[in-house]
Structure 1
Amino acid sequence: MNYPVWETYFINPGLWVAIIAVFHVFISHFAVGGGIFLWYTDRLSVLTNDQDLREFVRKHTWFFLLITMVLGGVSGVGIWFIIGIASPEATSILINQFVFFWAIEWVFFFVEIVALLIYHYKFDELSDKLRLRVALLYAISAWMSLFVINGIICFMLTPGKWLETRNPWHGFFNPSSFPSLFFRTGISIMLAGIFGIFSTLFFSPKDKRSFLLKYNVKWLYVAFPFIFFSSIWYFLTVPELSKVFNFVFNRQVLMAKKLLYVSSAFIYLISLAFLVKVNPGLQRVLAFLLLFIGLLWLGSFEHIREYARRPYVIYGYLYSFGIRVEEEKKLNSEGFLKHARWAMVKEVTEDNKIWAGREIFNLQCLSCHTIKGLRNDVVEKARGFTYFGMVSQLYGQGKVLGYMPKFIGTEKEREALATFLVKELLRKPENPPELKPVIRELKTQPFTFDPQKDQYVIFVFSPLGMKCVTDADRWFSFLYPGSTFEALVIKRGPKPEMLDNTKVQLVYKVEPGFKTPSKHVLFWDYATEFFNQTVPKDLGLTGKGLNGTFDWDEKRKIFIAKGIPVLPYKKDGTYNPYPVFEIEAVDKVSGKVLQRTKAVSPVATEFRCYVCHEGSPRWNGVAGISDQTAINILKAHDKNHQTNFYKSALQGKPVFCQKCHADFIVGSEGIKGYNSFSAAIHGWHANYMPYKDEKACYLCHPDHPKGNTKCYRDIHKKLGLECVDCHGNIDFHATSLLKGTNTKTSKFLLAHLNPPIPKDQITPRKPWVQQPDCLNCHKGFQKPAKEAKGYNNWTEDVSGLFRVRKDNTQKLPCLVCHGSPHALYPAFNPYGMVIDNLQPLQYQRNILPIGANLKCEVCHLKKMNVPSHHPNLIRTFRNSKLLTSQTDLE
């Protein structure tokens, strides 16, 4: 920030450096290896008294001088020029810290020049002994020059103790200096052989050509063990975080690695062609090809080395855009632009947002990115983001994908950069599409119930409270159609009797308009790809349809209808997340209907992925995941995790996410070493989520205040409790899941999360198995204390979950009396007070929990004075003041 920015939007400074540097490094390594080659080959000519070989050396020296002194010298000056304007802060540090070493290097370079000029121009005049001494002096000086420059370059990747001591000797003799020195020496020897082959084909006598080609090829094979073993040593010195961020997540490094491996194979395969008799014209073509592949090989290595430093220019000290790590906290607090010496805008306002964003882009992004340019085009990379998606990307930048530097600046500055990128460059609006409001009162009423005559009651509940479905089946799926009902049939009496499947059969049917879900989603077209089974249209994976019968779960002693493929899309084109089912209990002997009831099967497709990933709701502007949103999600996954899901989906093979990521709720074991699905989703997105309260939950789950679902709608919501009161905020929630997964990647996802309590105090948990326990707050079934929190004290296993737990008698599920999760009685559904309270209204003419206000006669035929189901049961409803209408209370 102490220097003005060199603004080149089409070719960024980093690319300019790469173009000049790779060319120079290619020649400079040849200068080192070629010096050893000249001395050794000339010595061989003297020892064997081979005049032809000596003549080859003389001609090769002219070629060598022309390449190294002219092209090498010019490109060397070019490097100093380009790094001085591309990364002036880093250049200044290197000069000031290593001024003594640069002086030494210039001495060696001067000796190198003088020795080579004398060797070339006095080649025929010097005695053999003196000529060889001059050649050896050049070779030693060139290698020493490499030794000095190598130490300084390696300092940028592994500064070692210098970060603490600021001692130049610690910086020079850093962890990677010696392995890199051996590696580069091997490169130099290899390039000497490659250039020797080229020189042989153009400057050697024909009768000597076969011998010289074999001789030069040997230099490649002598270099191989140096390169191979030292490369392993070199890689071991790379910082551990860099190994993960740059060698696992960074796609550009992976491409460079492939190029390095492929070019290595080609170099040695092509070299074999020079060991056999081949047409001279073809040999020359192969020689040019070998030089070009050698340049690609070195370029791919330098690319990998440069990226291994990311997100720094000097690892752990100076970010790639020239800001020191020690300045980060101050700039985040006080403002980046305020301290940017050459910025025209010092403070972000509504009027200058775009200009301020451009200034920030120039200062923080332009060193690596272009605008519609040759490489790392920011327009192309930002294309799949909305404004809020870009704000989130900048918030999480450099946290999970650590090869990018973190955004530095205030929240307003982050928003300004997002505005510039999205509004100015992409010409997109700042706000996502407005949700289309469709909530209306649903016309349904409970069946009648005569407490004097009716002998049976049916309790039906949805154990999840809300079944979510991803309807982007052409592209991916992680929540497929398949709702579940559980039910009990009780014969009323002084001692109520729970009936099993030997006495009654439970039959269900959905209300009109929901019977053909296959007309609204493509799940059935891709079920074979997802689950390796053909699923008949309008049936679920378990064979259940929209009308059918309950099964009996002998272990749990409960009726269950699992896998009902109900969707919130009605035949008439309306969105209704609360389809109502009618359930009948039929006597198995007589066929008589013993009792009827209604129950809602809540189901939602209202995912707001488009808020970040662009697009709009698929279904009539109300809900669902559109093609554009789904494609952007797949492309983001492919980019960040090196998958090919988008291409696979185009070929008719969409991905089922839980094939890789374990998920208890769908019965998937996933792949060992991968995070569970919940940990992966929450752990990744928590790092990018600028909100930490319930707004983070609303962005993904179907409960947005302006949404059309409202999945959280019970008494707790009415009392003002939010998602974070039971589950913890997004960082806490993600931390508990990641600690429960405990994979290699979970550690990196955890690193930048900031939960409200220390991470070591957060209890790990398994998703869907260990959840907040109701008794965390309702200790002894009493009124919660004001400071009570539901999170960080999880159920031990599935048996402790509210949706599975039974009362003290271990017979009656909690859901019978209290209703479904997130819809506990009394529930306050925006689609009508009746919807989630159908059974309380039917059996006791109010919307309170079953049996509340001493309504024990629903099952017992009389009031009870013993709290047999759980303590603190025999009392009036605590929150009656919240109930205001005539439908609320009897």
Structure 2
Amino acid sequence: MQYPIWELTTFGGGFFIALVAVVHVFVAHFAVGGGLFLPVFETLAAKLRSAPLLEYVKRHTRFFLLLTMVFGGMTGVGIWITISVIAPQATSTLIHTFVFAWATEWVFFLAEIVSLLIYHYRFDRMDRRSHLIIGWLYFVFAWLSLFMINGIIGFMLTPGAWLTGGGFWAGFFNPSFWPGLCFRTAMALMIAGLFGFLTAHRIEDEETRELVYRCCARWTIVPVVLAVGFGWWYFSVLPPEALERLTVKAARMTAFYRLIPFLAAGLFVLGSVMILRLRREARISLSLILLLLGFGFIGTFEFLREAARKPYVIHGYMYSNQIRTADLDGLRESGLLASAGWARVGPITEANRLEAGRVLFQLQCASCHSIGGPMNDILPLTAQYPLVGMDAKIAGMGRITPVMPPWAGTDQERLALAAYIVDGLHGGKPGNRAWTPPQLTVDIPPFDRDKDEYVLLAWNNLGMHCISDSYAEWVLLPPANDLFAQLIRRGDKPEVVTEGVELSYHVEPGFEEPARASLFWEHAECLFGARPEDNVGLAGCGLIGPMHENGELNCFEAKLIPVEPYPADGGFNPYPVFTVVAREKGTGRLLAATRAVAPTSTEMGCRNCHGGPWKVDDLAGISRTTGRNVLRSHDRLSNTELAASAEGGKPRLCQSCHPDPVLGAEGNPALLNLPAAIHGFHANFLSGRGSEACAYCHPNRPDGPTKCLRGVHAQADIGCVRCHGYLEDHALSLLKREQEQGKQRAGRLMAHLTPRSAENLAAINPRLPWMQEPDCRTCHVDPNVKPDAKTSLGFNTWTTGGDTLYRNSPDKTGRMLCIACHNSPHANYPAVNRYGANRDNIAPLQYQGNIRAIGAQGNCAVCHLKEVTADVHHLGRAAMK
């Protein structure tokens, strides 16, 4: 970063490169092909002794000189000026690496000029043989100039062995040298034919004019065929990652990639038509059309060549923003501003953050992006992002989007750039508002320890069921909460009762009609292939009804209850309370009753990165704007048409494509399973963060309306990463299993992720999501010894399968479920709920008058009527072996 900055705003660097370079390249190729055109046609005129044809060559020579030498020379100087101010570091590298090649090319260029001037001004003053020698010399020198320039231009895309110390010759005769030279030679000949069409209409002699048109047609159609073949050869030698950027359909450049065969076909067909006898006016029109097609053909090639280099200006050596790959780690350590000698910004403070961001934009982005300009305008590309999303987008550059250089700078500088784009260019985006929820009371059901015969325990098995309520756009998880219960007959030897009893449930008032506030039922058939009645879930359960025996778990359950966090009187409450009742079968005698929270939240934080408002009360829910932005991102990166499908009234279930164990969805087995795809993708944008990265998506931000992590671990300040690992670790454990299943996409998402909770990737144990989760006994080795809250780490030791998950695990007796006494994951007793401190602690308060786990602190008498002298429930790690 040793050169001063050319501050580009409306017209970014890409605009000037496109404006000057493509025009010059078109004219420069004409200078080569036309150099052969002139002596060939002069020879033909001499052979035919055709004065009209010789006169045409003379007049064409004048046109050729003015266009190639005068205009071409001006655009050539324009290229040097443009690249020296837009890409000074790269220009310096090219000059120093190929100084003798440049000197040689300039000698050839000087010889071109002299030859062409002699050829034009001595056209009728030299004998024909000498004049033709000068013409042929011009062509030789012009082609040798192309030879030299082709080596340097090709080096920028395919430096080959130069990167590993191969030196000048390895860089010059790089892998694309020969296919590039052949392609450009064919292009030069084709363009000569196109310009021949353009000037041929001035020939008055009809037969001579027809002869020139026929010859020019051959000069066009034969090189077009050759150019297509050489172009195929050229693309075949590109680095695999560069070729992938051109062929991935999701890339913006694909439209240009598809243009090549159409442009080539147009040139071939219309060039062939020019062989026929046509009216003079028709030929003039076709000549102009052919010239435009030719310009488009070479312009498209140059655009694709430039695009294939991205994110580099010199492949593998220097990024398009002039930062060398070797300097990247150092700049991330020391900072980009400190390394830019011409940047006049001191240490970043709150006062100068936007100014620092503006300078960082010029250093990092302006070489490609304009501000409100015609090319790569940064404004529409970043309009949707709030600050968190913009910061994440910058952090993920060069990972998921390979055409972008990776971020070079400190985290503080990255945030300053994000703030400049969001606040400086877009005027800011509203953040999340802090929420102080109401303190709701909950009635604790009565229990008489001396008289009551039964204890009824109820729980939700997930601790938080998240709903992606963007039903008209896409669905990740539907409203589908599960309630479980176990009925224990108290006694000297308590017994779990499953026969001769009936259990039922009902939700608290205000939550009975979720269809009133939800579009789920309107789109259920499209999404799930079934249309349950309003307020009834996908498994046939409503907000009131019977529970069914689950013999495998020795409990009762009600599956997929479609409760939503929107009470009838308005507002947001993610913790509706259900009452569960046990009655004697046949008589209906009440045996026991209890209550439990069924946590369900729509505070999924897609809008934190994808923009848009919250859907409900500026607190929660995925709005249509946010949902549609997510679809557009998916379409752009994965070549899908989900946004158009949603616009047509056909939303999609994510698991219809991605396999997912939680729904038992097979999806497309070739694709990554849904948790691996989601976490693997987003980890590339949210690396280097702690538990806050989890809260960007999951409903757990400290000042949010849900705060789902509310159990004993939260009270001990044990965040997400202590069990699940940092986001990179979490993603790698999921992706590693997918990679072992032969899914190549996993490797692409893993490429830029570095483990943080393990020494290396090999040390991370792969896992199947939902079925293999952190094992409680990793930290809780001995039930009588409290784990160290500061050092215990649950990451990387997984349960063996769904049957060994905490929520499905029985105690030592094999009858009681651990979760029945300890409560849901993320809400283990004692839990603190934002909507009322003890809203999650109903059962402990009901049965033992405290908020500890059932039976803790000597409360065995909740179920045991005889004194207990041994731990009959817990099983330590040693006993498991």
> Per-residue displacement from partner, 1:474-517 (whole Å, max 9, x unpaired)?
333212211112233444455555444x6333322111100111
2:663 counterpart residue number: 666
CA distance in 2, matches of 1:537, 1:267: 62
Residue identity opposite 1:273 in structure 2: V
Displacement after TM superposition at 1:604 (Å): 0.9
CA distance in 2, matches of 1:641, 1:572: 42
Tell me the matched-pair count: 870
Moved more, 482-491 or 504-513: 482-491
1:677 counterpart residue number: 674
| Structure 1: 5+ residue stretches without partners | 874-890
| Residue 815 of structure 2 corresponds to residue 823 of structure 1 | no
Residue identity opposite 2:765 in structure 1: T
2:686 pairs with one of 686, 689, 694:
689
Answer yes or no: is the 8 Å Cα contact 2:478–2:520 preserved in 1: yes
Give 3-state SS (helix, strand or coil) of 1:595's partner. Answer: strand
2:630 counterpart residue number: 633
Residue identity opposite 1:443 in structure 2: V
CA distance in 2, matches of 1:784, 1:44: 99
Q: 1:249 to 1:378 in 2, by over 3 A?
A: farther
> Per-residue displacement from partner, 1:620-664 (whole Å, max 9, x unpaired)?
233222344334434444444444444443333334333333222
CA distance in 2, matches of 1:151, 1:256: 24
1:442 counterpart residue number: 441
CA distance in 2, matches of 1:186, 1:784: 78
Displacement after TM superposition at 1:856 (Å): 4.4
Residue identity opposite 1:361 in structure 2: F
Give 3-state SS (helix, strand or coil) of 1:252's partner. Answer: coil
Give 3-state SS (helix, strand or coil) of 1:259's partner. Answer: helix
Give 3-state SS (helix, strand or coil) of 2:840's partner. Answer: helix
1:318 counterpart residue number: 318
Q: 1:42 to 1:777 in 2, by over 3 A?
A: same
Give 3-state SS (helix, strand or coil) of 1:428's partner. Answer: coil
Moved more, 111-120 or 336-345: 111-120
Aligned CA RMSD, in angstroms, stands at: 2.9
CA distance in 1, matches of 2:231, 2:801: 49
Give 3-state SS (helix, strand or coil) of 1:663's partner. Answer: coil
Displacement after TM superposition at 1:566 (Å): 0.2
Q: 1:274 to 1:790 in 2, by over 3 A?
A: same
Q: 1:719 to 1:89 in 2, by over 3 A?
A: closer
CA distance in 1, matches of 2:485, 2:537: 19
Give 3-state SS (helix, strand or coil) of 2:563's partner. Answer: coil
Displacement after TM superposition at 1:169 (Å): 1.9
| Residue 618 of structure 2 corresponds to residue 621 of structure 1 | yes
2:731 counterpart residue number: 734
Alignment of 1:694-733 (within 5 A): 694-733=691-730
Moved more, 555-564 or 486-495: 486-495
Give 3-state SS (helix, strand or coil) of 1:343's partner. Answer: coil
1:605 pairs with one of 602, 606, 621:
602
Give 3-state SS (helix, strand or coil) of 1:779's partner. Answer: coil
2:775 counterpart residue number: 773
Q: 1:312 to 1:250 in 2, by over 3 A?
A: farther
Moved more, 614-623 or 205-214: 205-214
1:541 pairs with one of 526, 538, 550:
538
1:577 counterpart residue number: 574
Q: 1:294 to 1:558 in 2, by over 3 A?
A: farther
Alignment of 1:450-489 (within 5 A): 450-489=448-487
Displacement after TM superposition at 1:211 (Å): 5.2
CA distance in 2, matches of 1:533, 1:389: 36
1:887 counterpart residue number: none
Displacement after TM superposition at 1:153 (Å): 0.7
| Residue 515 of structure 2 corresponds to residue 518 of structure 1 | yes
1:849 counterpart residue number: 853
Q: 1:750 to 1:214 in 2, by over 3 A?
A: same
Residue identity opposite 1:763 in structure 2: N
CA distance in 2, matches of 1:575, 1:360: 41
1:241 counterpart residue number: 241
Give 3-state SS (helix, strand or coil) of 2:707's partner. Answer: coil
| Structure 2: 5+ residue stretches without partners | none
Q: 1:100 to 1:373 in 2, by over 3 A?
A: same
Moved more, 609-618 or 534-543: 609-618
Q: 1:714 to 1:165 in 2, by over 3 A?
A: same
Moved more, 708-717 or 831-840: 831-840
2:842 counterpart residue number: 838
> Per-residue displacement from partner, 1:704-723 (whole Å, max 9, x unpaired)?
22122221121222222111
1:69 counterpart residue number: 69
> Per-residue displacement from partner, 1:403-462 (whole Å, max 9, x unpaired)?
212232233322332232222221116x714223214133222x2234455444433221
1:504 counterpart residue number: 501
| Residue 810 of structure 2 corresponds to residue 806 of structure 1 | yes
1:759 counterpart residue number: 761
Answer yes or no: is the 8 Å Cα contact 1:673–1:744 preserved in 2: no
CA distance in 2, matches of 1:737, 1:121: 74
Residue identity opposite 1:470 in structure 2: S
Answer yes or no: is the 8 Å Cα contact 1:6–1:13 preserved in 2: no
CA distance in 1, matches of 2:221, 2:502: 81
> Per-residue displacement from partner, 1:215-263 (whole Å, max 9, x unpaired)?
4333444334533343333223333333445653873322322333433
Displacement after TM superposition at 1:90 (Å): 1.7
Residue identity opposite 1:444 in structure 2: D
2:251 counterpart residue number: 251
2:654 counterpart residue number: 657
1:231 counterpart residue number: 231
2:28 counterpart residue number: 28
Q: 1:232 to 1:867 in 2, by over 3 A?
A: farther
Answer yes or no: is the 8 Å Cα contact 1:246–1:403 preserved in 2: no
CA distance in 1, matches of 2:656, 2:40: 60
1:886 counterpart residue number: none
CA distance in 1, matches of 2:432, 2:863: 50
Displacement after TM superposition at 1:809 (Å): 4.3
Q: 1:466 to 1:192 in 2, by over 3 A?
A: same
Answer yes or no: is the 8 Å Cα contact 2:245–2:402 preserved in 1: yes
CA distance in 2, matches of 1:101, 1:721: 63
1:862 counterpart residue number: 866
Residue identity opposite 1:687 in structure 2: N
Residue identity opposite 1:652 in structure 2: G
2:361 counterpart residue number: 361
Q: 1:850 to 1:237 in 2, by over 3 A?
A: same
Residue identity opposite 1:590 in structure 2: T
Q: 1:118 to 1:804 in 2, by over 3 A?
A: same
Residue identity opposite 2:328 in structure 1: E
Answer yes or no: is the 8 Å Cα contact 2:246–2:257 preserved in 1: no
Moved more, 771-780 or 452-461: 452-461
Give 3-state SS (helix, strand or coil) of 1:472's partner. Answer: coil
Please give the TM-score of this superposition, normalised by the length of structure 2.
0.92
Displacement after TM superposition at 1:151 (Å): 0.6
Q: 1:595 to 1:210 in 2, by over 3 A?
A: farther
Moved more, 819-828 or 565-574: 819-828
Residue identity opposite 1:236 in structure 2: S
Q: 1:744 to 1:242 in 2, by over 3 A?
A: farther
Displacement after TM superposition at 1:165 (Å): 2.2
Residue identity opposite 1:767 in structure 2: P
> Per-residue displacement from partner, 1:346-391 (whole Å, max 9, x unpaired)?
3323332222222222222221122212222222222112223222
Displacement after TM superposition at 1:541 (Å): 2.0
Displacement after TM superposition at 1:202 (Å): 4.3
Residue identity opposite 1:836 in structure 2: D
Displacement after TM superposition at 1:5 (Å): 2.2
2:7 counterpart residue number: 7
Answer yes or no: is the 8 Å Cα contact 1:484–1:564 preserved in 2: yes
| Identity across matched positions, percent | 41
Moved more, 189-198 or 199-208: 199-208
Residue identity opposite 1:399 in structure 2: R
Displacement after TM superposition at 1:587 (Å): 3.7
1:78 counterpart residue number: 78
> Per-residue displacement from partner, 1:252-276 (whole Å, max 9, x unpaired)?
3223223334333333343343344
Q: 1:442 to 1:277 in 2, by over 3 A?
A: farther
CA distance in 2, matches of 1:175, 1:467: 55
